[in-house]
Structure 1
Amino acid sequence: MNPSGKPLKGKHVLITRGGEQGEKFCMDVASTGGIPHMVPLIDFRMYKDPNESYYFRQLGEYDWIIFTSKNGVHYFFEHLKKYVDDYSLLQHSVQFAVVGEKTKEALDRYQLASCFMPHVFTAEEFVREFFQNEFVAKKVLVPKGNLAKSTIADGFRSQGISADEWIIYETFYPVNQVGRLIPLLKEDVLDVASFTSPSSFNHFMKIVKQQFLTQHVSKLTFAAIGTVTKRAIENEGYQVGICPEKFTIDKLFQEICRYFQEKEGKDLHEF
């Protein structure tokens, strides 16, 4: 059996997230004996919403600004710096809410406190817990990406609360990564493929189908960061072997380690 510090020894892990989070994921995998293959299948860029000036003028009217992702925080303030210099002024006029820990950490960097975060990091749970806590809101703003669903805004509207959705960034597929993924699949190099969003999995499947690699993909263990991504994978007919209870990349990595530790222990026991 591998030493406890090397649960991924010899395992090839596909990491479909880029940037700082992807780099850290790679280092974590390598530190536990695994071989990381970072092939970012989605990327993000600023989006110019035609209603941007309206949302900015309305900032003082919102009771809550709700962030659903780390990217949402980053791009919101990238847009905002065109209009204001001192973000701390917002703290006195509006309350902030976040869906998860990483989003909260991103907001903390701007020295702005989040007043609410659900125990389970999903949009559905956010809505349920927010109203369970009996917070007061008349008008809210949800800065988001172009592919994000309207679950939170719809939840507020169903309660008679005005909810604006400001598209501040867009997701796109980095086509230059395709050539790196194909040989990994064709040669059956990978043991596990990890996905941190439905978008990354959808791009993965687009490549798989275009290159007729379905047979190779069926051999993989799939790891999903949360229930929404898990559902996207299952809708394509694949079983998800790894999904953490807490929907963060760190927890996803830990769950991958636990999965292979348990699998190795079971294999040895059967032998």
Structure 2
Amino acid sequence: LDHCLQRMILYDWIIFTSANGVRAVLDRLAALGRDVRDLRGPRVCAIGPKTAAALEALRVKVSLVPPEYRAEAIFEGLKKEKLKGKNILIPRARVARDVLPGELRKAGAAVDVVEVYRTVLPAENRSGVLGLLRERAFSAITFTSSSTVSNFVEMLGREEAGRLTAGIPVASIGPITAEKARSLGIETAVMPAEYTIPALVEALAEYFKRGRGRTGEKEEKGS
């Protein structure tokens, strides 16, 4: 990462796929005695509004936010330009899909992918989560990324995770997360049209609202 940040002027684009990535890069720039002005050389892409807001709060101009907040949509937005020979930096989590860098390279871009943070499994929470799931203490389970699904299943074990989530509505932030959950035996009941946490909360609230409405209608008809 340090090597990339010290040659930031050579990049045509820097693509941020999360607000965590923005914070990690800014922290590292500060450690190197640099600052946010280094981000004003290349054009900047943010995967969604939260990431864009983190950049704009630093007065960094965001040139591209795709209409759909996923890697495929970023590529669709960038491929409208001539990508051959472009230098692109993608600072991201250690565990991430390779769709975007792969497609950019196929289009002729030189892509540097650097790990700037990790999503890790907390060691102390397994027994507490197990107990709450067994007691059916949750009204819903939310997954905000594929890595949260992977960590959840790793923490509980695949068989136990599938058994204990059965009958509890699962809300996934988007299709990639929902597909990851499905591949591990967990079906998604709620997914927002916009892949953001506020939209996920709204979709979950609407899900429960509709459920209560149906219950009320049945009770009224039976009275």
2:13–2:43: 8 Å Cα contact kept in structure 1?
yes
2:8–2:38: 8 Å Cα contact kept in structure 1?
no
The structure with higher relative contact order (CA 8 Å, sep 6+) is 1
Aligned: 1:121 with 2:69: yes
Residue range with higher mean Cα deviation, 205-214 or 78-87: 205-214
2:165–2:186: 8 Å Cα contact kept in structure 1?
no
Whole-angstrom CA distance in 2 between matches of 1:209 and 1:177: 14
Query: Aligned to 1:121, what secondary structure does the other structure show?
Result: coil
Aligned: 1:166 with 2:100: no
Q: CA deviation at 1:267?
A: 2.2
Q: CA deviation at 1:266?
A: 1.8
Partner residue in 1 for 2:134: 186
Aligned: 1:63 with 2:3: no
State the TM-score, normalizing by the size of structure 1.
0.75
Amino acid paired to 2:215? D
Q: CA deviation at 1:263?
A: 1.3
Alpha-carbon deviations, 1:52-77, whole Å to 9, x = none? 34212321100011000111111011
Aligned: 1:237 with 2:156: no
Q: CA RMSD in A?
A: 1.9
Whole-angstrom CA distance in 2 between matches of 1:131 and 1:124: 11
Alpha-carbon deviations, 1:105-130, whole Å to 9, x = none? 11122211111010000001110122
Partner residue in 2 for 1:102: 50
Whole-angstrom CA distance in 2 between matches of 1:90 and 1:234: 38
Q: How does 1:1-271 map to 2 (within 5 A)?
A: 52-91=1-40, 93-132=41-80, 134=81, 138-209=86-157, 212=160, 214-271=162-219
State the TM-score, normalizing by the size of structure 2.
0.90
Structure (1 or 2) with the greater helix fraction: 2
Whole-angstrom CA distance in 2 between matches of 1:53 and 1:183: 43
Whole-angstrom CA distance in 2 between matches of 1:113 and 1:197: 26
Alpha-carbon deviations, 1:214-237, whole Å to 9, x = none? 433212110001111101111123
Structure 1: gaps of 5 or more residues:
1-51
Instruction: Quickly say closer, same or farther: Cα 1:69–1:90, change in 2 above 3 A.
Output: closer
Whole-angstrom CA distance in 1 between matches of 2:36 and 2:153: 41
Moved over 6 A (4+): none
Q: CA deviation at 1:209?
A: 2.5
Amino acid paired to 2:57? R
Whole-angstrom CA distance in 1 between matches of 2:186 and 2:143: 13
Whole-angstrom CA distance in 2 between matches of 1:126 and 1:214: 33
Whole-angstrom CA distance in 1 between matches of 2:158 and 2:150: 12
Query: Aligned to 1:241, what secondary structure does the other structure show?
Result: coil
Structure 2: gaps of 5 or more residues:
none
1:208–1:214: 8 Å Cα contact kept in structure 2?
no
Amino acid paired to 2:23? H
Whole-angstrom CA distance in 2 between matches of 1:102 and 1:122: 13
Percent identity of paired positions between Structure 1 and Structure 2: 24
How many pairs does the alignment contain?
218
Q: CA deviation at 1:210?
A: 7.5
Alpha-carbon deviations, 1:154-211, whole Å to 9, x = none? 1211111111111111221111122321111111122210111121122222233389
Query: Aligned to 2:73, what secondary structure does the other structure show?
Result: helix
Query: Aligned to 2:115, what secondary structure does the other structure show?
Result: strand
Q: CA deviation at 1:268?
A: 2.3
